[in-house]
Amino acid sequence: MKKILLLCLWLSCASLAVAQRKPNYLFIAVDDLNDWVGPLKGHQQAWTPNFDRLARRGVTFVNAHSQGALCNPSRASLLSGLRPSTTGLYTLQPGVRSVPALKDHVMLPQALAAGGYATFSAGKVFHDGSIKPAEREREFNAYGVAPSIPTPPQKFVVTPDAIKLMDWGVYPERDEEQADYQIASSAIAYLNKAPRDKPFFIAAGFRLPHVPCFASQKWFDLYPDDKLVMPPVKANDRDDVPDFAWYLHWKLPEPRLSWLEKANQWRPLVRAYLASISFMDSQVGRLLDALDASGQAENTIIVLWSDHGWHLGEKGITGKNTLWERSTRVPLLFAGPGVKANAVVTRPVELLDLYPTLMELSGLAAPANLEGHSLVPLLRNPKAKRDWPALTTHNINNHGVRSERWRYIRYADGSEELYDMRNDPNEWTNLAKDKRYVSVIKEHARWLPKTNLPAVAGSAQRLLEQVNGVWHWEGKPIRWAELER
């Protein structure tokens, strides 16, 4: 009888220990991926079986948005839990620790490490170059490889900007030569040797479909040119858009749609973007397979996100740097213990919410100054109430507010846009000047950030600022005669 009581006591303690054990995290970042994946239905031909597989295992947030329409501010916001307008970090430079508001701020990986996690990073998690070599140990316990996308000796496409990364085509010959393959391999190697006496946080940052959009031939074969479905584009779509909207992407390496059409490169770019997505998806699959084989899946929460979207002709442009849906909407998926399976959330959510979410899931106290809101209620019940819209900021005092039905944009000069996303998902009709929607605008405008810090010292690359009453793009005054449409 005594042995039975002892066995029951041991089983009870073991069950309690399992219940109290912090979950592991497989934290998968993707670069420049818009909603062209199966679970978000952004492109009817997108072949992403591993995104689909992950969606079946967990919750897909179909109305998730980044806080910055550019890599560095978006990633800094997610990892810090603070908005770009709160920190003044709007551009590709400087690095996060050069920003006064972030110099000593506890970033998400640091908070998890302090809570007992073994933390690891491979690939692009923070923006490239934003963490100085001397600061690396501060951010993660361990690092894997972080290779750049391999490039051919000569560009395939001669774009208006000679930057080497602005390219697309069939390259390299073997998947194993790709940066994302090597990043996945590095994360898998750490997964297989991660400490078993503490939970792990494995961050794997894939580079595709960021330009150059390269993939081997088999991925292009998924999208025959003669059957390629092009994104919907409306002629003169910008006729009802404020002039100031041009300022957010005044002169960029990403070509305009007009150039792509003239150079017969629109279809090749769309095809290459889709091919690079499908290759990247295969690397997500390698991570999922390795996790399942490791015996750790039952106690691992998978989080997959992209830092922002990407235009492929919509509104006459390619690239990001806008406050429209194509630039702000991102894939966000959760799967694992305690997460409802095969569920969809339509409530607007933010990448900013990831920090408080992971802290709550781990039973850890989050820093008091985080600006996001935990997604745990929605992970348990996808229909749970949520009181906040999603906000995106690009350069000082330009904001987009996304609710479940509407997108409201206000630019730094006070000009506005309003779109009914339920009836006009392509954002073709700006309703901001229609008096019938005054109350809708008022309701959304109340969420605009009250704090709008100027760009921090050292801000560079894609900086829009006002100097002596004149708007400047990257240090040069904006002149309409120089606009390339």
Helix (H, G, I), strand (E, B) or coil at 258: helix
Average pLDDT over residues 10-14: 33
How confident is the model over 322-341, as a mean pLDDT?
Answer: 98
Q: Calculate the alpha carbon distances from 438 to 388, 416, 444, 445, 446 in Å.
A: 20, 12, 10, 10, 13
pLDDT digit string, tens, across residues 321-330: 999 999 999 9
Nearest to 416 by CA among 196, 274, 273, 245: 245
Average pLDDT, integer, range 237-253: 97
Domain 21-482 class?
alpha beta
pLDDT band at 20 (very low <50, low <70, confident <90, very high): low
User: Which burial class, exposed, middle or buried, applies to 267 when counting CB atoms under 10 A from its CB (0-12, 13-18, 19+)?
Assistant: middle
Q: Do you find a cis peptide bond into 449, omega within 30 degrees of 0?
A: no
Neighbours of 380 (CB within 10 A): 13
Residue range 224-249: mean pLDDT, rounded: 97
Q: pTM for the full model? A: 0.95
Known catalytic residues? Answer: 71, 127
Range with the poorest average pLDDT among 13-27, 63-77, 373-387, 399-413: 13-27
8 pLDDT more than 50: no
Mean pLDDT across the chain, nearest whole number? 95
Q: Where in 315-427 does DSSP place strands (E)?
A: 318-319, 332-335, 343-345, 349-350, 390-393, 399-402, 406-410, 416-420
CA–CA distances in Å: residue 374 to residues 28, 119, 150, 350:
19, 21, 38, 10
Per-residue pLDDT averaged across 190-199, rounded? 96
pLDDT of residue 21: 84
* Sequence ranges of the domains in the chain: 21-482
Task: Using alpha carbons, select from 413, 308, 306, 300 the residue that is nearest to residue 358.
Answer: 300
Residues 6+ apart with CB under 8 A from 32: 71, 209, 210, 211, 306, 307, 308, 309, 310, 320
| 99 phi, psi to nearest 5 deg | -90, 125
Query: Tokens at residue 309, please?
Result: 């979207």
Q: With pLDDT > 70 as the criterion, what percentage of the chain qualifies?
A: 96
Q: What helix, strand, coil percent values describe the chain, rounded to 5?
A: 35, 20, 45
> In this predicted structure, what is the pLDDT of residue 424?
98
- In this prediction, residue 19 has a pLDDT band, given cuts at 50, 70 and 90, of very low
Average pLDDT (390-412) is 98
Query: What mean pLDDT do residues 41-46 have?
Result: 98
Q: What is the pLDDT of residues 274-292, one digit of tens each?
A: 999 999 999 999 999 999 9
Residue 5: band (very low, low, confident or very high) from pLDDT cuts 50, 70, 90:
very low
In tens, the pLDDT along 195-219 reads 999 999 999 999 999 999 999 999 9
